[in-house]
Structure 1
């Protein structure tokens, strides 16, 4: 039998252990838990959905873009679901970095000025079309070795400064094949079939950027 003295001692030890864990839990900022829940649960408003074969198995895969309607910046989350042998879809990619929030923090509550990017699936390639200042940019991602790699970028911009395009506006088309590393810029005058200037150079990026690491601000790199 355990004596009353030993029992009281054991009770004291258990009480101290209990208080220690209460202290540890109370030291963890509650916003860490709320942020985790928030980032996963509040992306409830779907703004984009596209279906097509991305992993070349003859079955339909799916991409969705959903908005967090609780966060004041209105962030967006891209998710890619790939078909499985059992016929179900499994989440392969989830990213909140690839699309700029509608009301970025640095804009102090103002709209970013761009529509939410469009996504297309063409011949197994995932295409992301986005508005940028003075034009638009299209990214091509290809599924390879369990990753979606950026393989091609096409950017169209113009130098119009008056708010409209006239006969003096110069359009620049940039084509960047990341697989070969060839980057070509072509300048043209509005309405002209002849190029003003063509600039070509080789830019090698290895490894190829993966979609889960891609950020909306990376448009400045291409």
Structure 2
């Protein structure tokens, strides 16, 4: 007689709240809320973003939830090692949900705007440096990328630390349609922008 067991992952272990932000996301004059919760049972420590919108009765209703937008703290591909980045910060400014994340050599901010029941990626700010020595010195070049997904204009500018020279600017047009939705967005998409 042989037996086997099936391992089933419980998806409801996102119990530790890491972040909470309140603000008006759908322009109804009422406070909406976002939360980031961690699954402390799963050894990779995945994170879940949830966006709650206010209703006319004053209650909050879950509008969107994503387990893919934030990289787990101990990704499987790191074999139990910390990913090296802090958990992203979230801000609500003028109806736009902003997610600020550390990336290798810098940081990136994603701007999501509520439109017809979805949160769409409308803008990306990225700042990186080419530090090869592990520290910033007079040879460090900073690259700032500004990508307006609505117009499709992507601008990159390179500036050497302490240089009096004007930054080198590159502009190109990249249309992404439809605009990426927050629930489809993956943390690995940072390489696309």
Could you state the TM-score of these two structures normalised by the residue count of structure 1? 0.83
- Is the helix fraction higher in 1 or 2? 1
Higher gyration radius (CA): 1
SS state at 1:217 partner: helix
Are 1:70 and 2:41 counterparts? yes
Which string of whole-angstrom CA distances, capped at 9 and with x for unpartnered residues, describes residues 74-124 of structure 1?
A: 000000000000000000011000000000000000000000000000000
Residue 208 of structure 1: how far off its partner (Å): 0.2
5+ unaligned residues in a row in structure 2: which ranges?
Answer: none
Are 1:218 and 2:189 counterparts? yes
Alignment equivalent of 2:89, drawn from 115, 118, 142: 118
Contact 1:94 1:212 survives alignment (8 Å): yes
Are 1:136 and 2:107 counterparts? yes
Contact 1:73 1:102 survives alignment (8 Å): yes
Residue 168 of structure 1: how far off its partner (Å): 1.0
Find the counterpart in structure 2 of residue 186 from structure 1: 157
Q: Distance in 1 between matches of 2:65 and 2:189?
A: 18
Find the counterpart in structure 1 of residue 126 from structure 2: 155
Alignment equivalent of 2:168, drawn from 197, 208, 222: 197
Which string of whole-angstrom CA distances, capped at 9 and with x for unpartnered residues, describes residues 180-209 of structure 1?
A: 000000000112354331100000000000
Q: Distance in 1 between matches of 2:125 and 2:66?
A: 22
Find the counterpart in structure 1 of residue 68 from structure 2: 97
Q: Distance in 1 between matches of 2:81 and 2:171?
A: 38
Q: Would you say how many aligned residue pairs link Structure 1 and Structure 2?
A: 189
SS state at 1:128 partner: strand
Tell me: higher relative CO, structure 1 or 2? Use CA pairs within 8 A at least 6 residues apart.
2
Find the counterpart in structure 2 of residue 84 from structure 1: 55
Which string of whole-angstrom CA distances, capped at 9 and with x for unpartnered residues, describes residues 23-45 of structure 1?
A: xxxxxx843xx32xx11x21000
Q: Distance in 2 between matches of 1:195 and 1:102?
A: 39
- Is the strand fraction higher in 1 or 2? 2
5+ unaligned residues in a row in structure 1: which ranges?
Answer: 1-28
